[in-house]
Amino acid sequence: MAAGVRTVDALPGPFSYPLAGVALVIIDMQRDFLEPGGFGAALGNTVGLLAPSIPVIGRLLAAFRAHGLTIVHTREGHRPDLSDCPPAKLGRGRPSMRIGDHGALGRILIQGEPGHAIIPSLTPLPGEVVIDKPGKGAFYATPLSTELTRRSITHLVITGVTTEVCVQTTMREANDRGYECLLIEDATDSYFPSFKQAALEMVRAQGGIVGWTATSNALLKSLPP
Ligand code: TIU
């Protein structure tokens, strides 16, 4: 095996990645999804269901930082004038508050508002990539492809919320662009635990039709000491 290639005990089989070509992708760990008073709560969800993944992502973030590896954070949100929010997204469902309305964390899902920020324990450091995205996928209408190509990244370790919405959409977008993707099972959460489980199973089915899944401990064990 080439120097610098690491292997994770994963499903549906081992996941190998080059240390120089891997990035940790942390999807939308924002106050708007994880705290009361934000977008997730406005949609009627129990935001506490997303809490278990927080410390797990914290451990992965610390390990990637310690090894000087590429780290990408994403944030879902819109411009204050909502010019990047399609009417279909704005009008969907019957939420208690809509995107752009004033809530306990500022305007719902609007860039620069308190709710748009990444939660304090996972705050990006200078030099880490931060991608603002108007959609559920992190590639649509963002510079993510350019940023990954510039760093010669070929393999993505994917974490964040919610598993079957922004995480799965991003993983499918990445898979179609040729990235090898590993979803970390305990570093992602959903407001619907059964949807999380289904998403994990569907990405690794059919020989890894979308990618691989593994535990955070398996990924951490694969890193150099
Ligand atoms: N509603 C829901 O489950 N998720 C989102 O709206 N965005 C993300 O997943 N980040």
With a 6 Å cutoff on the Cβ, whether 28 touches ligand 1 is yes
With a 6 Å cutoff on the Cβ, whether 162 touches ligand 1 is yes
pLDDT at 27: 99
With a 6 Å cutoff on the Cβ, whether 74 touches ligand 1 is no
pLDDT at 3: 58
> Hey, which residues are catalytic here?
28, 133, 166
Q: What CA–CA distance (Å, rounded) separates 169 from 139?
A: 9
pLDDT at 94: 84
pLDDT at 1: 47
For atom 1 of ligand 1, which residue has the closest CA?
40
Q: Residue 159 forms beta bridges with which residues?
A: 26
**Taking phi first (over 0 means left), then psi (-120 to 50 degrees means alpha), and beta for anything else, what does residue 182 get?**
beta
Query: Nearest CA to 134 among 181, 89, 198, 73?
Result: 89
Whether pTM > 0.95 for this model: the answer is yes
If the chain, 225 residues long, is cut into consecutive pieces of 10 residues, what is the mean pLDDT of each piece? 84 98 99 97 97 98 98 98 97 89 97 98 98 98 98 98 98 98 99 98 98 98 95
The phi and psi torsions of 106 (rounded to 5 degrees) equal 90, -165
Work out the burial of residue 6: count CB atoms within 10 Å of its CB; fewer than 13 is exposed, 13-18 middle, 19 or more buried: middle
Contact 197, 213 (CB under 8 A): no
How many Å separate Cα 117 from the centre of its chain? 14
pLDDT at 93: 83
Which atom of ligand 1 is nearest the CA belonging to 27? 10
